[in-house]
Structure 1
Amino acid sequence: MSGNHADGATRAGPVIEVGCDESGSDGENLTGGNTDVFAHAGVRLPRESAAAYVREIRDRVGSPAEEYKANHLLREKHRAVLEWLLAPSGPLLGHAHVHLTQKAFFVVDRAVDLLLDDPAAAVTLFRDGRSVFGEERWREFLAAANRLLRVRNDGEPGAPVEAFFRAVAALRTADAGRSDAVAIVGRLAAARPRAEAYRARCLDSRAPIPVLNPLLPAIVGTAAHWSAGGRAVRLVHDEQNTLTPDRLAWIEAAARRAGVGLAGVRLVDSRLDARVQLADFLAGIARRIASDELEERADPALTTLLRPYVDPRSVWGDARSWARLAPVGAAGTDGEGAEIAGGSAKINSSV
């Protein structure tokens, strides 16, 4: 067990503990990684109850594996166990929550935030970009935006800026007519000074907080969910190399700015805390179901089971899939797509 923690301002009353884990992490490589969705889950249960549920999962699955993962439950032969875990009568509903991030949208959102500081423009550009500019140009733009934003520099110091604005210029040469997306790209083309200033900060010896790591804002979003109503929450999180003291301090500061009652983040070995193991199951399951929904190969029954767990403030840009994933009554479930909230978890690009 690690003693690393970020101590935020506590509120009146007892501090509740929530076990947390993630699935789908590719670091800052969001457009060329192995997954298109990132999921961060939190489980609030007594440790003894969580341990009993983990034992029951092992008994129901019957695998000799020493450490169970979501993949065990996602196998067709264990479908009944998966449905039991997520069902209204199962162990998790009302005690668990998952924050989803659509990685491609996160890249566009972060780039537009850095260069234009206009969240609505990010939604418009993402939803219309592929159809307006064409698949190939759009993929090149996403990859260039990812390279611009990642802290690590490949090649010459100015290369990420040059590549990004070449991609922007390519979008502007597309026969796209007049549209809001075209106007937004025109605004991006004029934002080169901001891009250069950001890359200069990335070259500073004091490494900035990575704006492309969805784990950090997702942790703040998880804390916001569980601290609603004035509660103070401590997150018991699976150990992560990315959760350095500086990044834990950023999480604390972001939570404080958003009025979130985060009392701390304690890092543990997931094998020693059943709550974290259950969060690992839920994060992996949610990532797979959300990815399948995004790629239009979803199992409707599993999507229905997942919906009550999904954070309505998830960072999601695709309207069609969000209308199926979001909790009933959440913004965007009327077919118009998600209201991209997540404001409490925004990373200040100037950090």
Structure 2
Amino acid sequence: MSGNREDGERGAAGPCLEIACDESGSDGENLTGGNTDVFAHAGVSLPLAEAASAVREIRDRIRSPAEEYKANHLLREKHRAVLEWLLAPEGPIHGRARVHLMEKTYFVVDRAVSLLLGDPAEAAALFRAGHRTFGEDGWRVFLEAANHLLRVRHDGDPVEAFYGTVDALCGAHPGTDAARILERLAATRFRAEAYRTGFLDGPPLIPVLNPLLPAIVRTAALWGGDGRPVRLVHDRQNMLTPDRIAWILEAARQAGVGLAGVRLVVARDDARVQVADFLAGIARKIASDELNGRGDPALTALLRPYVDPASVWGDVRSRTLLTVQVSGRC
């Protein structure tokens, strides 16, 4: 299939800055039981020729027989020098690439608390206190119940399971800051039931738990926040239907971002998207290592200039290490 189809194109005054995008760590709506704990969405501003040159250089240095290179090629220890070259201040993408990170479990808590309480600040407070108060097992049960409640597809009665979990944790940890927030959640069953009832008419256009769509809007804002119109060239995704692209364009417009369009391509046909794929996969792995206490200080320092300071990050220590300016959601 050719990469020439354009979706959601909209005219804009002046020349557009074209940003190539890709993601890493997508598990759909399964944010607590998937294969990764961080979602990353990268955008690069490179001319096609320069991107193709960077991909050729990576291939020449790694010399793998693989037909299509991915981030895991660069993340192998034997190719550490290639990874450092790509991210270094003298490398081909420095100052011309950004990556937005989402800590998946925090994203679940943020979405659940925002939906049920309309109070994002309580999500940050619960995330900080939950693991410490409920312990590893109790916190995991809560996260899974919240994820199950918000997912479009589900088994059993996710409302009953969620509020049963909330009641049990409140009873086991009375008087704690975390239990105080759960007591507020316990009184929101009617909102949860209304949310689930909405699915009777079919799945929503914008799933609450899918991180890709808000990440694309944020990537557009990173590059178009100064009023310059931008157009995104994105790896083709089943999630990016024409209706959802229209939503992205409208969400960007409401945020004051001049997003002129979203064009879908096959990644292997556009070297710029391949470079975005490299950065997204690399950033996801480095961020995950920091989150789990096994970070590599040298790689973290190399990644830091690329990380969006408004990444959705609940782990304060990791966020501090990963961003130049501590200004995430938590």
Q: TM-score range by the shorter chain?
A: over 0.9
> Could you tell me the TM-score, scaled by structure 1's length?
0.91
Give the Cα–Cα distance (whole angstroms) in 2 for the partners of residues 37 and 173 of structure 1.
Answer: 31
- Displacement of 1:81 in angstroms is 0.5
Percentage identity across paired residues of the two chains: 68
Which residue, out of 235, 241, 246, partners 1:244? 241
What residue ranges of structure 2 are gaps of 5+ in the alignment? none
Provide the residue aligned with 1:185 in structure 2: 182
State whether residues 205 and 244 of structure 2, in contact with CA within 8 Å, keep that contact through their aligned partners in structure 1: no
Provide the residue aligned with 1:165 in structure 2: 163
Q: Where do residues 100-139 of structure 1 align in structure 2 (5 Å cutoff)? A: 100-139=101-140
Give the Cα–Cα distance (whole angstroms) in 2 for the partners of residues 204 and 121 of structure 1.
Answer: 31
In structure 2, relative to structure 1, the CA distance for the partners of 1:182 and 1:227 (3 Å cut) is: same
Provide the residue aligned with 1:31 in structure 2: 32
2:8 is aligned with what amino acid?
A: A
Q: Aligned pair 1:5/2:7, yes or no?
A: yes
Provide the residue aligned with 2:70 in structure 1: 69
Provide the residue aligned with 1:263 in structure 2: 260
State whether residues 9 and 256 of structure 1, in contact with CA within 8 Å, keep that contact through their aligned partners in structure 2: no
Q: Aligned pair 1:307/2:307, yes or no?
A: no
Aligned-partner SS, 2:312: coil
- Displacement of 1:137 in angstroms is 1.6
Aligned-partner SS, 2:206: coil
In structure 2, relative to structure 1, the CA distance for the partners of 1:318 and 1:206 (3 Å cut) is: closer
- Displacement of 1:134 in angstroms is 2.1
Give the Cα–Cα distance (whole angstroms) in 1 for the partners of residues 134 and 241 of structure 2.
Answer: 39
In structure 2, relative to structure 1, the CA distance for the partners of 1:8 and 1:319 (3 Å cut) is: farther
Aligned-partner SS, 1:134: helix
CA deviation profile, 1:81-105 (whole Å, cap 9, x unmatched): 0000000010111110000000000
Q: Where do residues 1-351 of structure 1 align in structure 2 (5 Å cutoff)? A: 1=3, 3-7=5-9, 10=12, 12-155=13-156, 159-179=157-177, 181-205=178-202, 207-327=204-324, 330-331=325-326, 338-340=327-329
Give the Cα–Cα distance (whole angstroms) in 2 for the partners of residues 140 and 2 of structure 1.
Answer: 45
CA deviation profile, 1:241-292 (whole Å, cap 9, x unmatched): 1112222122112111111111111100011111000000000000000000
> Could you tell me the TM-score, scaled by structure 2's length?
0.96
Provide the residue aligned with 1:349 in structure 2: none
Q: How many residues align?
A: 328
CA deviation profile, 1:160-191 (whole Å, cap 9, x unmatched): 11111011111211234332x22211111111
In structure 2, relative to structure 1, the CA distance for the partners of 1:4 and 1:147 (3 Å cut) is: farther
State whether residues 107 and 145 of structure 1, in contact with CA within 8 Å, keep that contact through their aligned partners in structure 2: yes
- Displacement of 1:4 in angstroms is 4.5
State whether residues 202 and 208 of structure 1, in contact with CA within 8 Å, keep that contact through their aligned partners in structure 2: no
- Displacement of 1:302 in angstroms is 0.2
State whether residues 225 and 256 of structure 2, in contact with CA within 8 Å, keep that contact through their aligned partners in structure 1: no
1:249 is aligned with what amino acid?
A: A
Aligned-partner SS, 1:38: strand
State whether residues 133 and 176 of structure 1, in contact with CA within 8 Å, keep that contact through their aligned partners in structure 2: no
- Displacement of 1:6 in angstroms is 2.1
RMSD: 1.4
State whether residues 58 and 82 of structure 2, in contact with CA within 8 Å, keep that contact through their aligned partners in structure 1: yes
